[in-house]
Amino acid sequence: MTLESVKPEVIVYVVSDAAGDTGEIVVRAAIAQFHPIHTEIRRAPFVTDEAALTRITELAKLSGAIVLYTLVMPELREAMRRLTEENGISSVDLLGPFIETLERRTGRKSRQEPGLNHVLDADYFRKVEAVEFAVKYDDARDPSGVLKADIVLVGVSRTSKTPLSMYLAHQKYKVANVPLVPELKPPDELFKLPKNKIIGLTINTSYLNVIRKERLKALGLPDTAAYATTDRIEKELKYAAEIMQKLGCVVIDVSHKAVEETASLIMEYIRQH
């Protein structure tokens, strides 16, 4: 049975009069606390009228979904509140209460302009640059990126190096990652870095065994391939541990950790060093 065929335990509609990025980030952060339940997020972006909210409400009621909304326009917020209440739908107004609190505190009305958090400012361009950097220097395709990075992740295959690179890029960190494989010599650039820029990622043998078997199945390959055997995994982890010891870097065990949790540990370490 594929993941897609499993009925989600929770369905969440993220409703927004902009792109809906903020709402989805919050939903994913909350869902991570309930791993491994299967959740489906359905975005409803760029909503501009009550008719669209009515359609979304009908769909949410049919599927027994939760509705989380980030609506800047007060008339849309009120319509969403009323519609979900009338239909007995669990809902969360993510922006409304705080916008109203700020209006009371400042004595000023909000600008009521959806999407202002995506204004093309310097911060936005730093994020775009970081994402492009993570893609370019993923998996040590170009080892020169190691010397240009804010953070360098090292570890064996399937320790979440690429997902972490992308997550950290969205926090505006330039991240390169280097796979550690016994048959391949790590790039010389890696040993020229300050150790506080390098993050070693390790993982429990049995957990990695399960992950790699699932990866092979997803590729249509037999899960008995050497890549997923316990002997091979132990050999790789031992080699990786030796390299990390030579580098003198901090090591994080990613076993059973969500990407967000590991990223939080990395960012806290980088801030302190």
pLDDT in tens, 193-219: 999 999 999 999 999 999 999 989 888
Q: Which residues pair with 102 in a beta bridge?
A: none
Closest CA to 253 of 193, 187, 199, 196: 199
Distance (Å) of CA 176 to CA 128, 194, 254, 265: 15, 14, 18, 17
Q: What is the pLDDT of residue 113?
A: 75
Q: How far apart are CA 219 and CA 195, in angstroms?
A: 36
Spatial contact of 16 and 71, defined as CB atoms under 8 Å apart: yes
Q: What is the pLDDT of residue 1?
A: 33
Contacts of 120 (CB under 8 A, 6+ apart): none
Helix and strand counts by DSSP (H, E) for the chain: 10, 8
Task: Tell me, letter by letter, the H, E, C secondary structure of 65-80.
Answer: CEEEEECCCHHHHHHH
Q: Which residues of the chain have pLDDT under 50?
A: 1-5
Q: How many CB atoms lie within 10 A of CB 101?
A: 10
Q: Which residues pair with 58 in a beta bridge?
A: none
Residue 79 burial (10 A CB sphere; 0-12, 13-18, 19+)? buried
Q: Looking at 106-192, which runs of residues are DSSP E strands?
A: 151-155, 175-179
- What average pLDDT is seen over the chain? 91
pTM to 2 decimal places: 0.61
Spatial contact of 152 and 244, defined as CB atoms under 8 Å apart: no
Q: What is the pLDDT of residue 145?
A: 94
Q: Write out the two tokens for 132.
A: 């492009």
Q: What is the pLDDT of residue 232?
A: 96
